[in-house]
Structure formats: C-alpha cells, structure tokens
Amino acid sequence: MIVRWQNEHDYCLVHIHQDMFGDWLLTKAWGQIGTQFGGLTHSLMESYDEAVTLMESIGTVQESRGMKRILQLDDQEKAADLFSDLIKSGEIQPS
C-alpha cells in the first residue's frame, strides 16, 4: 500500500511493504516539494495490520497540518513500482 499527502509546499508518502524475509515494513518519506529537503525512515512492523494502524495515525497528523490525501494505492505490486519510480526520479532520496 502506498499513500501520499501533500499541500502547496510539502509532501508525506507512506509505503507499506514486505521485505525479502517476509517482514512488514513501513517506509515514510517526507519533504518540501521541488527541493532535496526531507527525510526517509523505515520501521519494522509486527504485522500488516500494525503497519496500517501506524499509517492511519500518520494520516491523522498530516491532515491536522492541512495536508490532503492525494494518492492511495492498495495493490502492493503497483505500489512497489511507484515507490521505485519516485526514488529513480529523485523525488525521494534513498537512505
């Protein structure tokens, strides 16, 4: 699953995915649109449901800051492809 919030200047993107060992990860990327300012974190989750709960909490915080959800992609394969494309384009800096 991949979800993106943004406003006029900032974005926050969350990607929930499994690694090659089957562990669930929540990757969060954030920053200012059009700049290299921002960050990237990876959090190991106990389960997919725990990752979704954390993603919903992140969404609540982002929406309280005036951001709007502009993307939600539930298909894991398409989400992984989109996240990879964002890294390749330079919009998200790899850690």
Cα distances (Å, whole numbers) of residue 68 to 2, 5, 8, 17, 54: 14, 5, 10, 22, 17
Q: Which of 58, 75, 51, 74 is CA-nearest to residue 11?
A: 58
Mean pLDDT computed over 40-58: 96
Task: Report the distance separating Cα 64 and Cα 42, nearest Å.
Answer: 23
Instruction: Tell me the fold of 2-89.
Output: q64v53_bacfr protein fold (2.20.140)
Q: What is the pLDDT of residue 39?
A: 95
Q: What is the pLDDT of residue 95?
A: 57
The pair of three-digit structure tokens given for residue 13, joined into one six-digit string:
């993107």
Determine whether 29 is exposed, middle or buried from the number of CB atoms within 10 Å of its CB (0-12, 13-18, 19+): buried
**Domain ranges in the chain?**
2-89
pLDDT digits (tens, 9 = 90+) for 59-93: 999 999 999 999 888 866 777 777 788 778 877 76
Q: How many residues does the chain have?
A: 95
Percentage of the residues of the chain whose pLDDT score is greater than 70 = 94
- pTM confidence score: 0.77
Q: What is the pLDDT of residue 83?
A: 73
Pairing mode of beta strands 68-73, 10-18: unpaired
Mean pLDDT computed over 20-33: 95
